[in-house]
Amino acid sequence: MIDQEVTTRCEAKVRTGKWGIYSHRCNNGAKVERDGTQYCKTHDPESIEQRRTAKQDATMSSIRSRRARRDVRRAEYVVRAATSMSLKDADALVGEIIAFGSAISTGR
Ligand SMILES: [Zn+2]
């Protein structure tokens, strides 16, 4: 008796070879059907999209945390610089930082 679960294969094409010039049909068993095409878990377009989105989110949160750490370092630098200068120089520095900050925010 032939088991339908085993005979239904994923219909995705898998690229192989050094530059992906060869392709063969995926050997995995089909798990889902999308628009009449059978796919395994790996090649299911929805799961591909989910992995892509998850990767994008991870990249964005990594960029955000790097920016946050950079901002902390800059703030610490300003505090160190400000604590070692006169009050008049510190006021001038703060003025420059505010002007620089508004130049950046209007530049976006
Ligand atoms: Zn597949």
What separation in Å is there between the alpha carbon of 75 and the centre of ligand 1?
50
Q: Which residues have a beta carbon within 5 Å of ligand 1, which is an ion?
A: 10, 12, 26, 28, 40, 43
Structure tokens at 89: 């120089």
Please provide the DSSP assignment of 9-61 as one string: B---EEEESTTS-EEEE--SBP-EEETTEEE-TTT-HHHHHHHHHHHHHHHHH
pLDDT score recorded for residue 3: 52
Q: CB of 9 within 8 A of CB of 27? A: yes
Q: Which residue has the tokens 């339908």?
A: 4
For the chain (length 108 residues), average pLDDT per consecutive 10? 66 91 94 96 96 97 97 92 79 86 74
Q: Report domain extents, the chain.
A: 62-106
Centre of ligand 1 from the C-alpha of residue 72, in Å: 46
